[in-house]
Structure 1
Amino acid sequence: MAEDRPAIPEPIKREVRQQCCFGCAICGMPFFQYDHIEEYADVQEHTADNLVLLCPNHHSAKTTNKLSKERIKAAKKQPFNSTRPHTSGFQVEPSQELLTLLGNNVVSGWYPNGNGDHHPVWINGKSYFTIHSDEGWLSVSLQVTNVRGDILLALVRGELMVATGNWDYVYEGENIKVRAGLGDIILDMNLSDTKVEILRGMFLDRTIDGYVIKDDTLITLCEGQPRGWDIGCSAHANGFGGWGLLNKKTSPDVQTPSGFGFFRSF
């Protein structure tokens, strides 16, 4: 019979995520499970002090007595990510099909022969969202920022890393949320091998040029000021990328590549 116990309260789960710096206490991976150091059957309660984040590998190692409680307790006191600006990586596998959504705007049909890089989001000479194709297998590089242009979360050819300075981060199912405080969601996205869907988020550089996604809308910003809106648009089969922006004032030496679905120059 399955053990009958109450769910871990959300405030306690959030405290444990913060204590473990948003990753497995042993290896730092930002894909994790909650584990009781002393078994729940023995303590009969959920407390932050007795909970730890473990990746599936280390959770299984603990459950099958390959990982001691002493090692886990030591790691809880000094988690792997505690001295790092970002977590270690979790690899999202490549796929042969990829759904790409920015709000309800779609990027699709990149390089029909399946070769080369495609840039759904490009700002002042830098790709903030890149789709890589290697012999038809697609992987993603991505930098999602806050309103100041600081990176909250990054993918490097499918390897997910999260800033440890975030207030909160969670990856449940295919959904990722980053919060700046209670109720303040600054990144809401769905991520799997076949999907990158930004429901709420920002791609901004240090001059606050870029894009904000919220309420199904892709908003163009130039030096922090709204300069355009896209709702329900499709960038299909464009040679270089989907959405691009060039601020000639702040980036006078950057050359404009051709082949965007939507491009704005200021």
Structure 2
Amino acid sequence: MLSLPDLTEQEREEVRQACGFACVRCGVTIYRYLRLPDAAQATLLCPTCHGLVEEGRLTAAQVHGFHTNPVVRQRHFARDRLPFSPELPMLIIGGTRLLRDTPIPLVLDGEPIMMFAPPRRSRGATRISLRMGAPDGSPVQVINGNEWLPTDGSWHFLLRGDRYSIMAARGEGLAVLRIVARNRIAVEHLRTTIRGRRLEVTPDWLEIDGKRYVDRIGSGALVGLEC
């Protein structure tokens, strides 16, 4: 299945709406825009499900079936276990009392590490963006508004229970987001180095260049902490 990076924003909106703002097979809200097998239409598949297609473990007919009837539109699908919320999420991060109304909790060396935004439509998914350091320390946009950007195997994505896990194929890059509720996300572990500046974060503390802090991220601002 071919990636479709050149879709217009209107076309992307139409694809998201048709697919229920998530992977049509599993409902994960991190996805790629991909051309349906043997068709001109586009669909959404998470990195894991797209890997199954590439390995031949999902057939073209199965992918078409998922696209026609996305899992998030099925009655049995439990939306509460994934970040489907019309509100900006509250965050559990860095030993701070529940972080509210802070779209960019952390900026490291001028780079916004994480960004969160409410969906453009009420039935959509929380928009998550993630910027991490490559093995050479240069900043890399891994996720942009829920779109999974890597196509070269440099980063891996996995849904583990209620956790979105993003891991670098090389180096120490790691981000684990636990979906506590539709509008509540815990930064369970984040670790990255950008241009020699090292950041590590858990729900209880954050460490910047080897110095550990608690309760340093501020609520109610565009940026919670710039370091």
Question: Aligned with 1:60: secondary structure?
Answer: helix
Question: Aligned with 1:163: secondary structure?
Answer: coil
Partner of 2:185: 196
- Does the 8 A contact of 2:112 with 2:131 survive in 1? no
Q: Which residue identity does 2:46 align to in structure 1?
A: P
Partner of 1:220: 208
Partner of 2:114: 129
Please give the alpha-carbon distance, in whole angstroms, between the structure 2 residues aligned to 1:204 and 1:219: 11
**What's the CA shift for 1:201?**
1.7
1:209 and 2:197 matched: yes
Partner of 1:60: 66
Question: Aligned with 1:200: secondary structure?
Answer: strand
**Aligned pairs for 1:1-266 within 5 A:** 26=36, 27=43, 29-30=45-46, 33=49, 50-52=56-58, 58-60=64-66, 93-96=84-87, 98-106=89-97, 108-110=99-101, 118-132=103-117, 139-146=126-133, 148-151=137-140, 153-156=142-145, 159-164=146-151, 165-166=153-154, 168-180=156-168, 186-191=174-179, 193-202=182-191, 204-205=193-194, 207-209=195-197, 211-214=199-202, 216-221=204-209, 226=210, 228-231=211-214, 233=215, 235-245=217-227
Please give the alpha-carbon distance, in whole angstroms, between the structure 2 residues aligned to 1:187 and 1:53: 31
**What's the CA shift for 1:139?**
4.8
**What's the CA shift for 1:180?**
4.4
Q: Which residue identity does 1:98 align to in structure 2?
A: P
**What's the CA shift for 1:194?**
1.4
Q: Which residue identity does 1:188 align to in structure 2?
A: V
Q: Which residue identity does 1:60 align to in structure 2?
A: F
Which blocks of at least 5 consecutive residues in structure 2 are unaligned?
Answer: 1-30, 37-42, 70-82
Question: Aligned with 1:51: secondary structure?
Answer: coil
Please give the alpha-carbon distance, in whole angstroms, between the structure 2 residues aligned to 1:57 and 1:202: 35
TM-score with structure 1 length normalisation?
A: 0.45
- Cα distance change of structure 1 residues 60 and 199 upon mapping to structure 2, 3 Å threshold: same
Comparing both chains, which one has the higher relative contact order based on Cα–Cα distances under 8 Å and sequence gaps of 6 or more? 2
Please give the alpha-carbon distance, in whole angstroms, between the structure 1 residues aligned to 2:198 and 2:173: 19
Question: Aligned with 2:187: secondary structure?
Answer: strand
Pairs aligned (count)? 169
- Does the 8 A contact of 1:212 with 1:218 survive in 2? yes
Q: Which residue identity does 1:142 align to in structure 2?
A: S
Superposed CA offset, 1:71-97 (max 9, x none): xxxxxxxxxxxxxxxxxxxxx645225
- Does the 8 A contact of 2:92 with 2:203 survive in 1? no
Identical amino acids, percent of aligned pairs: 7
Root-mean-square deviation (CA), in Å? 4.6
Partner of 2:3: none
Q: Which residue identity does 2:89 align to in structure 1?
A: L
Q: Which has the larger radius of gyration?
A: 1
**What's the CA shift for 1:220?**
0.8
- Does the 8 A contact of 1:35 with 1:59 survive in 2? no
- Cα distance change of structure 1 residues 58 and 170 upon mapping to structure 2, 3 Å threshold: farther
- Does the 8 A contact of 2:92 with 2:185 survive in 1? yes
Specify which structure has the higher proportion of strand. Answer: 1
Please give the alpha-carbon distance, in whole angstroms, between the structure 1 residues aligned to 2:84 and 2:201: 25
Partner of 1:259: none
Which blocks of at least 5 consecutive residues in structure 1 are unaligned?
Answer: 1-21, 38-47, 64-91, 111-116, 246-266
